[in-house]
Amino acid sequence: MTGSRPRIVVCRWIPDEALALLREAGDVWVPDPDRALPPGELHEVLAGADAAVTTLSERVDGTFADAAGPQLKVVANVAVGYDNVDVPALAERGVTVTNTPGVLTDATADIAFGLLLSATRRLGEGERLLRARTPWSFHLGFMLGTGIQGATLGVIGLGQIGRAMATRARAFGMNIVYSGRRQAPADVEAQLEATYLPQDELLRTADIVSLHCPLTPETRHLIDADALAAMKPTAFLINTTRGPVVDEAALAAALRDGVIAGAGLDVFEQEPDVHPGLLELDNVAMAPHLGSATVETRTAMATLAARNALAVLAGEPALTEVTP
Ligand code: 8YV
């Protein structure tokens, strides 16, 4: 620390409100708001940091913490997901890790539902047709999509975002089944009229499968060629969690070969790259990781991260700590 003011490294651009909060309490350093620094450069900047504010672009592991030094107290990740963080390695070094749950639930569920509608009603395909100035004329069989009223949504991971997705689906007249590591409390099931199913049964019965589980070693490629083959040929897959939960090459092949009908994707296995097979297909709606990308939500996320960092620096408990 320089004098009594902590050194806070903010690894990427964050909204001004959150920066202002941090600046009230510390000397804030934003090395390059527009670019994910390569680890070497980032590690140099981290030297002497008491706190670091990170995004999913940063790999936060033991070397990250060691580059900062033993005074590092907190890493505040501006994301609900923390698969970019080696939480045990940080815990070993006495560093608190925090994330930003809750504040992005609705924004992410909105994008998931938007992709669901975009994929089932062929909105992106229609827009591409118009922008390509392709001749068209209205007729009753033109660009027919798939209706969702009365269809079954299969939610994998009925956490906060999964529930928000299910709430939207209920409002559109859909039925809810879900799977996950554990069954949801009875009141949640009752409110959503949701039925717990083993995952293989969910895959077989759902008309739309939406992924809301975190990326962990257990969920990597949870949706692989076998899982896709288990789905109905008329079914759609929506992914707004993390790209590696889906085997993207297998998905591209399944979409090409009609194993499933379509997909809506906000996340990709090797962001910012997208599997070239997907880019050629009309039956996939895509967004460039926009789940939480609203002014309000990003401000709330960064502000929560700032509050987490400041709490730990002040010797208080974090608001939303990630435990190993
Ligand atoms: C974030 C996300 O924008 O919160 C998450 O886990 O995927 C997104 O909402 C992103 O992670 C920024 O770090």
In CATH, what is the architecture of 105-286? 3-Layer(aba) Sandwich (3.40)
Tokens at 250, concatenated? 């297998």
pLDDT at res. 4 = 81
Predicted pLDDT at 3: 56
Residue nearest to atom 9 of ligand 1 (CA): 292
Domain residue limits, the chain: 7-100+295-322, 105-286
Percent of the chain with pLDDT over 90: 97
Residue that is written with structure tokens 């070397």 in the block:
63
**Ligand 1 mutation target, pool 111, 289, 294, 298, most atoms within 8 A of CB:** 289
Q: What is the mean pLDDT of residues 81-103?
A: 98
At the top level of CATH, the class of 7-100+295-322 is: alpha beta
Average pLDDT over residues 44-69: 97
The single residue of 12, 122, 168, 242 carrying the catalytic annotation is 242
pLDDT in tens, 250-266: 999 999 999 999 999 99
Express each pLDDT in 223-251 by its tens digit. 999 999 999 999 999 999 999 999 999 99
Taking all residues of the chain, what is their mean pLDDT, rounded to a whole number? 97
Predicted model pTM: 0.97
**Burial class for 315, CB neighbours closer than 10 Å (0-12, 13-18, 19+):** exposed
The answer to whether 275 is a known catalytic residue is no
Mean per-residue pLDDT, 277-299: 98
Q: Quick one: pLDDT band at residue 2, thresholds 50, 70, 90?
A: very low
CB atoms near residue 171 (< 10 Å): 9
Residue with the nearest Cα to atom 4 of ligand 1?
Answer: 79
In ligand 1, the atom with minimum distance to the C-alpha of 301 is 4
The one catalytic residue in 189, 201, 271, 321 is 271
Residue with CA nearest ligand 1 atom 2: 79
HSE of 33, CA atoms in CB hemisphere, 13 A: 7
The phi, psi pair for 288, rounded to 5°, reads -85, 75
Whether 105-286 and 7-100+295-322 are alike in CATH topology: the answer is yes
Output the 3-class SS for the chain: CECCECEEEECCCCCHHHHHHHHHHCEEECCCCCCCCCHHHHHHHHCCCCEEEECCCCCECHHHHHHHCCCCCEEEECCCCCCCECHHHHHHCCCEEECCCCCCHHHHHHHHHHHHHHHHCCHHHHHHHHHCCCCCCCCCCCCCCCCCCCCEEEEECCCHHHHHHHHHHHHCCCEEEEECCCCCCHHHHHHHCEEECCHHHHHHHCCEEEECCCCCCCCCCCECHHHHHHCCCCCEEEECCCHHHECHHHHHHHHHHCCCCEEEECCCCECCECCHHHHCCCCEEECCCCCCCCHHHHHHHHHHHHHHHHHHHCCCCCCCEECC
User: Is 121 marked active-site?
Assistant: no
Per-residue pLDDT tens over the stretch 131-163: 999 999 999 999 999 999 999 999 999 999 999
Rounded percentage of the chain residues whose pLDDT exceeds 70? 99
